[in-house]
Amino acid sequence: MSAMYANEATDTIVIKDEYGYVREVAYWVNSDNEAVIDGDIIYGPVDALMANAYNGEFEDEDQNFFERRAFSVFRGTETWPSGMVVYKYKDEDTEHLLQPFVTKAMETWTRNVPDVKFHRLQNSADRMDGVVTITANPCGGCNSHIGYDKKVPLHMNLQQACVGGTKRGTCHYAEALHEIGHLLGLKHEHQRPDREQTVHFLCENLNPMCSNMPQGGNCCGTSYPKGCCKQKADFTVAYDFNSAGPYDITSVMQYRANAFALPGKNTLVAVAPGAQVPTHSINKLSNGDIRRICQLYNDRGENCR
């Protein structure tokens, strides 16, 4: 079982981000006091998330502004300088647990996108701004920061165990590919503004993850009981990222069909002819993934594949 889909939200909050876009996000707080939003994206210290809480009304956005903006961060501002991702493992035990499949995932990215490189520091190095510390915190799920930030220490967690906790499962090669995609700057494919042209979100199949949902009730609309359906915010579209190019249902950033679903149900179904939402974690990069990272780290995107 993938621990990526065990990241159960504990609350929701409406935020206004640095681009001026207002949206509701589901979040939980990890053992490093970092807020994790959108299922597996480390936002940063929970205080930073609280500081961006928005108490006004939702605003109409300038659609032309968003249309200018693959589903990723913005080139030059949130990408790694010279394409070099600097990282370290928390300690030798973490390295022993994770290094084989993390190295394999990094090699997959560099083999397909030569403009991206990974530079490892010694485990003994202090945690520092602009450097990724890779951990295997128990019950910490699979998650990472998105893109580069020189002002804060960065983090990627790949859980290997969760004894007695709710975040069951482990993170391996497929999850490492996905989380490194976030580190390089990619957002979730299912949160693109044009999602519904290719993939439909079935709110009635979302697991409410609460004990007070009335019989026959579901997560559609807004009338469900307080404390239920927090994970619904993980399926909201996000305009505050670059969403140029076609929807890529084969992307390593695409959530699988039964993400956070009731047993035996699917939350994501294909609506475009010939499209099929994956039923398992994707363990290879798509042409779209490769092209997008090429466009972020070298302007020759169309020549990458």
CA 214 to chain CA centroid, Å, is 31
Q: Is 145 annotated as a binding residue?
A: no
Question: Where would I find the H helices in the chain?
Answer: 46-51, 63-67, 92-112, 173-184, 287-297
Q: Which residue has the tokens 């809480």?
A: 53
Reduced to 3 states, what is the DSSP secondary structure of residue 110? helix
The response to whether 96 counts as a known ligand-binding position is: no
280 is in an annotated binding site: no
Cβ neighbours of residue 260 under 8 Å, at least 6 residues apart? 5, 39, 206, 207, 231, 234, 267
* Dist. CA 279–CA 20, nearest whole Å: 35
* Residue keyed to tokens 């960065």: 154
Query: Element (H or E) spanning 158, and its range?
Result: strand 154-158
3-state SS assignment for residue 290: helix
Q: What is the DSSP string of 210-252?
A: SS-PPTT--SSSS-SPTTS-GGGGGGS---SSB--S---TT-T
Nearest Cα residue to 257 out of 187, 179, 190, 170: 190
Gyration radius of the chain over CA positions: 18
- The encoded tokens of residue 203 equal 């709110």
92 in active site: no
Residue with tokens 């035996």: 264
Query: In this structure, how many other beta carbons lie within 10 angstroms of the beta carbon of residue 76?
Result: 8
Q: 95, 179, 189, 302: which one is catalytic?
A: 179
**Residues with catalytic annotation?**
179
- Return binding residues: 178, 182, 188
- Return binding residues for Zn(2+): 178, 182, 188
